[in-house]
Amino acid sequence: MPEIDIVENIMDANDQIAARVRQQLDAAGVLGLNLMASPGAGKTSVLTATVNALKDELRLAALDGDVHPVDVEKIARTGIPVELINTGGDCHLDANKLIHALPTLDLSQVDLLLVENVGNLICPAAFALGTHFNVVIASIAEGDDKPYKYPAMYRGADVLLLNKIDMLQYQEFDLDYFRHGVEVLNPGLTFFPLSARTGEGLPAWLDWVRARVAERRAASEA
Amino acid sequence: MPEIDIVENIMDANDQIAARVRQQLDAAGVLGLNLMASPGAGKTSVLTATVNALKDELRLAALDGDVHPVDVEKIARTGIPVELINTGGDCHLDANKLIHALPTLDLSQVDLLLVENVGNLICPAAFALGTHFNVVIASIAEGDDKPYKYPAMYRGADVLLLNKIDMLQYQEFDLDYFRHGVEVLNPGLTFFPLSARTGEGLPAWLDWVRARVAERRAASEA
């Protein structure tokens, strides 16, 4: 089965490069988060809200996988270093794209690296980047059935943000049905409902980020 | 460059199978529409609203590319024949999956076949199915910047539906910015703003469908 061999080789190669990404982040004491979501769920909004809340206490940087710099421009307005990883239309980031982008940032001046993956609930789930945690961002606007239809993404999440909770009053969204779908795939998954727009629910997520950054710093100093 | 050869062979093979799908549809006088969108843009809602409006005047059938039958169950409630194309987690339908699903339907009893692709704005754009028209469904909820970030999907559209226009009052969405992005990629693209939920804007889209079904029937009788 040559097709399967090729796929296995690609995934092995990706995992090996991801391990090198992780080494570089760990050596510099940088926490790396891989933000994944559907198009329009609010990756950039969550990222910029997180940056604006934390930029006075932590040293932040971002990488954005995209074909167009529209999100990079939004992130740049926060004042932190940000670079575009031009995906050329690919449906996901991979460790190779990330390792080539890392030298564009001075990691010695960074505590937290936020990587915005391509807007897609399928392909990014298959490619480890070498970052420390997979952050999946769902949104009220995309509907309560997404865990059932995109199981690999939810299974691979380390933390789940449910964005746009300010839209709950305008859209039908069965929170119990959504949470049940998540629980079956990923029992006990850390979960933060929030609104990047209004700031509701953001503090709990920010505390989670602060705690992970502190752990990473302690590990790199040990 | 063996990688490029493999990709070219896959695309050639897909196009050949797509031509066979087209032959089968044409021989049966069936119009085939390929519905593509982001997760949560409302493919199933648009599909069921279209079915409910047309099922008394046209013979309809549907195929749904998914890993979970949640959408198939929604479509089945309209009373039309519908089958799941289980994608096993793949990020798109292709012509091979479609040609294997066609025998599950009695095409001699169908005027209009609605194919719901996988929720993804990237991968489905690359794979012709053999259907007659690509219908891209955008939504107010996913934001006005999507044409800029998913150009292949918008470039390959034959008709564009902008769903959830009833949400315009609750979300920031610059319709001129959206339309400019579309116009650059696909000048003169047929465009219907609508709400599958409220029915607003639906009649113009239904008239477009009726006209295409009539053309297809005339062509197969000629």
pLDDT digits (tens, 9 = 90+) for A167-198: 999 989 999 999 999 999 999 999 999 999 99
Residue A121: list chain B partners with CB under 8 A: 39, 119-120
- Give the pLDDT confidence score for residue B1 in this predicted structure: 47
Rounded to whole angstroms, the Cα distance separating B61 from B220 reads 18
pLDDT, block means (10 residues), chain B with 222 residues: 71 94 97 97 97 98 96 98 96 97 97 98 97 98 96 97 95 96 98 98 98 94 82
Rounded to whole angstroms, the Cα distance separating B19 from B23 reads 6
ipTM of the complex: 0.92
Which DSSP category does B155 fall into?
H
The structural domains of chain A, ordered by start, are: 2-211 (3.40.50.300)
Number of C-beta neighbours around residue B139 at 10 A: 29
Question: What's the start-to-end Cα distance of chain A, in Å?
Answer: 46
Q: CB distance A89–B39 less than 8 Å?
A: no
Please tell me which residue of chain A has the smallest CA distance to B142: A40
- Give the pLDDT confidence score for residue B2 in this predicted structure: 59
Rounded to whole angstroms, the Cα distance separating A182 from A101 reads 32
**Shortest Cα distance, chain A CAs vs residue B89, angstroms:** 7
Residue with tokens 């420390």: A132
- Give the pLDDT confidence score for residue A2 in this predicted structure: 59
* Nearest alpha-carbon partner for B82 in B55, B50, B115, B56: B115
**Shortest Cα distance, chain B CAs vs residue A129, angstroms:** 19
Tokens of B175: 């319709």
Q: Global pTM? A: 0.94
- Give the pLDDT confidence score for residue B48 in this predicted structure: 98
Residue B38: list chain A partners with CB under 8 A: 38-40, 119, 142
Q: What is the 3-state secondary structure (H, E, C) of B85-148?
A: EECCCCCCCCHHHHHHHHHHCCHHHCCEEEEECCCCCCHHHHCCCCCCEEEEEEEHHHCCCHHH
**Shortest Cα distance, chain B CAs vs residue A3, angstroms:** 10
Please tell me which residue of chain A has the smallest CA distance to B172: A197
Residue B92 makes CB contacts below 8 A (sequence gap 6+) with: B65, B117, B118, B120, B123, B124, B126, B127
- Measured between CB atoms, which of A90, A145, A167 is closest to B170? A167
Tokens of B61: 């059938």
Tell me which residues of chain A have a pLDDT lower than 70: 1-4
Are A69 and A84 contacting, i.e. CB atoms less than 8 angstroms apart?
Answer: yes
Q: CB distance B152–A68 less than 8 Å?
A: no
